């Protein structure tokens, strides 16, 4: 239905309403008109007073000649209609006229409305069915999740009970091994103490005998010294007497020579007398040489004993013993529960034979701690690896342990960064970035370094 049809319909409706309202007015006028032959008498306006004067009707004024405008023929020739839309372009005006010229069919509109309502009802029905299906699926998933969580909880409880049982058994075994090692250590210490007491008593006896011998030697040396001094005094007196006699003889000879003619005589050379050695100094030198000869082998044997290592297989453990700083004796260094002993245990080992065994055992222990369920104990793992590093005397083993320590430190720093990010602390992000920057300084491979760099870039504010 176009604009013209709407205008026609509106005009037609207005005309019908006018006809309907005009018909009753004519009827009323006919009824109110006076009958033919009767003349209505009008009262003179001067005689009207009050209400009659207020109700008096007057005819409308009409001029004697109606005014008429003289048409301007020249203006009509020049007249043009104003533009449809003054500020629009021709293309826009054409589009607007096309829109105004469109025709609409109310039946088609009703059909489209019914179709839209049907589509909406179908969509609502489909949405309701979909929501019901999703709700059923969600309830099913929730039931499955609850069942899975229950099964997981039961499994975790069973694993926890098994782990606690294994830990208790392990603790009992370690306690028994420790008690056994302590008993053996106490027995060894007791034997060492008894040996040390015996050695001390022998040493004290030797020292007492040595003191007696030294005293006797000192007394003998003093007697010899006194005798030597006495002999020296007697010798000096004799030499003095001889010198006096020689001097007297010489004086007599000089006088005799002075009376005789002068004859050149050969010079007399007097030989110097060497002092005799001190007997006490000689004895002390002998004693010192004896002590050096006795104690140097003991010190060398004690040092060599510290380089001896021993392996001892006990119930479920392998023990490492080391020689004491003494010619004999040894003490336990490390107990390795679960370690497999060699097929043939030698009587004595050197460092290069036993240290790789200990380093490998400690490295396997660190791997076991890493693979345990739950959060790894990074501090315990690091201390175990550091202990293994002390026994790694070969370069491949040292490199392997250093790499493992770097990985553990890397995991520890990443865990600390995640904890700071998940905390409610104000400085959590800054602390996480600090941990990541510390991790970036480690000896990482290419993928790990790229991952840390991405995390730091994500956390840092954009500039």
DSSP string, 26-94: HHHHHHHSPPTT--PPPPPGGG--THHHHT---PPP--SS---PPP-HHHHHH--PPPSSTTS-HHHHH
CB 452 within 8 A of CB 439: yes
Which residue is listed with tokens 């239905």? 1
Q: How many residues does the chain have?
A: 463
Q: What is the pLDDT of residue 158?
A: 81
Burial of 334 (0-12, 13-18, 19+ CB in 10 A): middle
Longest dimension (CA), the chain: 238
Per-residue pLDDT of the chain (463 residues; tens, 9 = 90+): 444 454 455 555 555 555 555 444 444 444 444 444 444 455 565 676 778 778 878 788 888 888 888 888 888 787 777 766 777 788 888 888 888 888 878 888 888 889 999 999 999 999 999 999 999 999 998 888 888 888 888 887 888 877 788 777 876 667 766 677 666 665 656 655 566 556 665 566 656 566 555 665 666 666 667 666 776 677 666 667 766 666 666 566 546 545 544 444 444 444 445 556 667 777 878 788 877 787 777 777 777 777 778 888 887 788 888 877 666 777 887 888 877 777 777 878 888 888 888 888 888 888 888 887 777 788 888 888 888 888 888 888 888 888 888 888 888 888 888 888 887 776 788 888 888 888 888 888 888 888 888 888 888 776 5
Strand partners, 319: 312, 335
Task: Tell me how far CA of residue 247 lies from CA of 257, 266, 270, 271, 272, in angstroms.
Answer: 15, 18, 14, 17, 18
Q: How far apart are CA 319 and CA 333, in angstroms?
A: 8
Spell out a b/e string for 383-405, using b for 16 or more CB atoms within 10 Å of the CB, else e: ebbebbbebbeeeebeebbeebb
- 3-state SS class at 323: strand
Strand partners, 296: none
Give the angle 307-310-313 at the CA atoms, nearest 5°: 165
CB 356 within 8 A of CB 397: yes
**By C-alpha distance, which of 414, 411, 402 is closest to 443?**
402
324: which DSSP letter? -
H helix intervals, 260-350:
279-306
Q: How far apart are CA 37 and CA 123, in angstroms?
A: 81
In the chain, DSSP finds a helix count (H) and a strand count (E) of 11, 3
Q: How far apart are CA 285 and CA 271, in angstroms?
A: 30
Strand partners, 349: 309
Q: What is the pLDDT of residue 42?
A: 56
Q: How far apart are CA 434 and CA 234, in angstroms?
A: 96
Instruction: Give the strands of the sheet with 330-337, arranged side by side.
Output: 309-314, 317-323, 330-337
Q: How far apart are CA 48 and CA 54, in angstroms?
A: 9
Determine the distance from the C-alpha atom of residue 148 to the mean position of all C-alpha atoms in its chain, rounded to a whole number.
32
- The DSSP secondary structure of 254-280, one letter per residue, reads HHHHHHSPP---PPPPPPPPPPPPPHH
104: which DSSP letter? -
* Stated pTM of the model: 0.36
Strand partners, 331: 322
CB 369 within 8 A of CB 375: no
CB 440 within 8 A of CB 452: yes
- 3-state SS class at 461: coil
């Amino acid at each position: 239905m176009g604009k013209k049809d709407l205008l026609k319909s509106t005009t037609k409706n207005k005309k019908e309403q006018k006809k309907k309202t005009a018909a009753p007015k004519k009827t009323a006028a006919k009824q109110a008109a006076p009958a033919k032959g009767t003349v209505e008498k009008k009262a003179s306006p001067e005689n009207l007073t009050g209400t009659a004067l207020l109700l008096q009707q007057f005819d409308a004024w009409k001029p004697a000649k109606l005014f008429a405008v003289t048409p301007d023929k020249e203006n009509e020739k020049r007249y043009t209609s104003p533009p449809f839309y003054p500020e629009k372009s021709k293309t826009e005006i054409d589009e607007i006229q096309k829109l105004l010229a469109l025709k609409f069919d109310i039946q088609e509109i009703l059909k489209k409305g019914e179709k839209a309502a049907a589509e909406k009802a179908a969509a609502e029905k489909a949405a309701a069915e979909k929501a019901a299906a999703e709700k059923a699926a969600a309830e099913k998933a929730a039931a499955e999740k609850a069942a899975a969580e229950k099964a997981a909880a039961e499994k975790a409880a069973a694993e926890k009970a098994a782990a606690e049982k294994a830990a208790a058994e392990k603790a009992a075994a370690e306690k028994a091994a420790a008690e056994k090692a302590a008993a053996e250590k106490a027995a060894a210490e007791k034997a060492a103490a008894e040996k040390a007491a015996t050695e001390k008593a022998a040493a004290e006896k030797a020292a007492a005998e040595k003191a007696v011998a030294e005293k006797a030697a000192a007394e003998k040396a003093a007697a010899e010294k006194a005798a030597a001094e006495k002999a020296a005094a007697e010798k000096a007196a004799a030499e003095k007497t001889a010198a006096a006699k020689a001097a007297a003889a010489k004086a007599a000879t000089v006088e005799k020579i002075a009376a005789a003619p002068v004859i050149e005589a050969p010079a007399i050379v007097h030989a110097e007398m060497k002092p005799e050695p001190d007997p006490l100094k000689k004895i002390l030198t002998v004693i010192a040489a004896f002590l050096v000869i006795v104690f140097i082998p003991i010190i060398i044997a004690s040092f060599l004993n510290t380089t001896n290592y021993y392996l001892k297989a006990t119930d479920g453990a392998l023990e490492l013993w080391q020689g004491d700083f003494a010619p004999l004796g040894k003490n336990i260094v490390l107990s390795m529960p679960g370690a497999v002993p060699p097929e043939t245990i030698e009587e004595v080992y050197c460092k290069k034979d036993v240290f790789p065994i200990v380093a490998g055992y400690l490295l396997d222990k660190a791997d076991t701690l890493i693979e345990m369920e739950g959060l790894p104990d990074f501090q315990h793992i690091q201390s175990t690896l550091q202990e293994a590093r002390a026994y790694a005397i070969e370069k491949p083993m040292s490199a392997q342990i250093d790499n493992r320590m770097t990985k553990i430190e890397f995991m520890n720093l990443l865990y600390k960064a995640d904890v700071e990010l998940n905390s409610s602390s104000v400085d959590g992000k800054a602390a996480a970035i600090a941990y990541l920057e510390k991790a970036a300084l480690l000896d990482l491979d290419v993928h790990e370094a790229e991952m840390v760099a991405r995390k730091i870039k994500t956390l840092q504010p954009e500039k």
